[in-house]
Amino acid sequence: MARVISDECLSCGTCEAECPVGAISQGDGKYVVDADSCIDCGACEAACPAGAISEG
């Protein structure tokens, strides 16, 4: 299951840089995960300084 980014997102871009498959992009007010591309590796969750990413 893909990771999800909550409203706690700071829009810092750290997660986007850590995603090995490019599944994260800037959305409207926060970053979003493309569920079809996400390989559920957890790299983004570990890198998020706000703790805004979790398993979906």
CATH number of the domain enclosing 18: 3.30.70.20
Question: Over the stretch 24-47, which tens digit does the pLDDT of each residue have?
Answer: 999 999 999 999 999 999 999 999
Residue ranges making up the domain that contains 45: 3-55
Confidence of residue 23 (pLDDT cuts 50, 70, 90): very high
Per the structure, the count of domains in the chain is: 1
The residue length of the chain stands at: 56
Rounded to two decimals, what is the model's pTM?
0.92
Kindly report the number of other CB atoms within 10 A of residue 11's CB atom: 15
- What integer pLDDT is reported at residue 2 of this predicted model? 95
The proportion of the chain whose per-residue pLDDT surpasses 70, expressed as a percent, equals: 100
